[in-house]
A and B are shown apart, each in its own frame.
Chain A
Amino acid sequence: DIQMTQSPSTLSASVGDRVTITCRASQNINDWLAWYQQKPGKAPKLLIYKASSLESGVPSRFSGSASGTDFTLTISSLQPDDFATYYCQHYNNYLGTFGPGTKVDIK
């Protein structure tokens, strides 16, 4: 089975910071990777799919990239609404595997 890891597990940042979250797959997953944002007590929200495609309505400060089995979610300038937990997800046909999450909190 493919395992997904994320780093860091927690990230402290300030408004305006550039933030980078990394997700690593245990084997090649092509670009079958999505990123979600979740706030406490709320359902997740899709941000990125196919590693770098921005979901409609998501601000352009969010971007995704891939290099081999390493994937990156970047927030170019952190906004107050962005403090949340971020999950990567490998998907393959009808199956999905989430990473453990990265919590972005206020520095």
Chain B
Amino acid sequence: EVQLLESGGGLVQPGGSLRLSCAASGFTFSTYAMSWVRQAPGKGLEWVSSITGSGGSTYYTDSVKGRFTVSRDNSKNTLYLQLNSPRAEDTAVYYCAKSRSGYTAVFDSWGQGSLVTVSS
């Protein structure tokens, strides 16, 4: 059974930094692209970032380019999202998501979500 468990969320000041982690199990982690999707309170879903299975290529939505960094450690079956210089509008529940086989940006498994609150 696929399991994705996020951690690292919490309160962060504007301009600070925070790192989210997503521990994966139940599948061959290194063979799947992984992504982060967020949801601001009471709002819809927003794709944030994706990374290939090898970690060699990364992709970001325009609003986080240059501030967020996605990475992975395939030896630890863990996905990361480094949030640098977060803004109030980055406040959201952040989900990690696994790509469906053959469809890199279709997400067939999701974590439970980790709340990030950006506030002074």
List A residues at the B interface (Cβ < 8 Å). Answer: 34, 36, 38, 43-46, 49-50, 55, 87, 89, 91-101
29 pairs from A and B in contact (CB 8 Å cutoff): A34-B103, A34-B106, A36-B45, A38-B45, A43-B95, A43-B112, A43-B113, A44-B37, A44-B107, A46-B100, A49-B100, A55-B100, A87-B44, A87-B45, A89-B47, A91-B103, A91-B104, A93-B105, A94-B33, A94-B50, A95-B47, A95-B59, A95-B105, A96-B37, A96-B47, A96-B107, A98-B45, A98-B46, A98-B47
- Verify B110–A43 contact, CB threshold 8 A: yes
Shortest C-beta distance, A73 to chain B (Å), equals 15
- Chain A interface, >50% SS class: strand
Residues of B participating in the A interface, judged by any CB pair closer than 8 Å: 33, 35, 37, 44-47, 50, 52, 57, 59, 95, 100, 103-108, 110-113
Q: How far is the CA of A38 from the CA of B47 in the complex (A)?
A: 15
Tell me whether chain B's interface is mostly helix, strand or loop, or mixed: strand
Distance A78 CA – B12 CA, assembled complex (angstroms): 42
Chain A residue numbers with a CB within 8 Å of B57 are: 94
Inter-chain contacts of B110 with A (CB < 8 A): 43-45
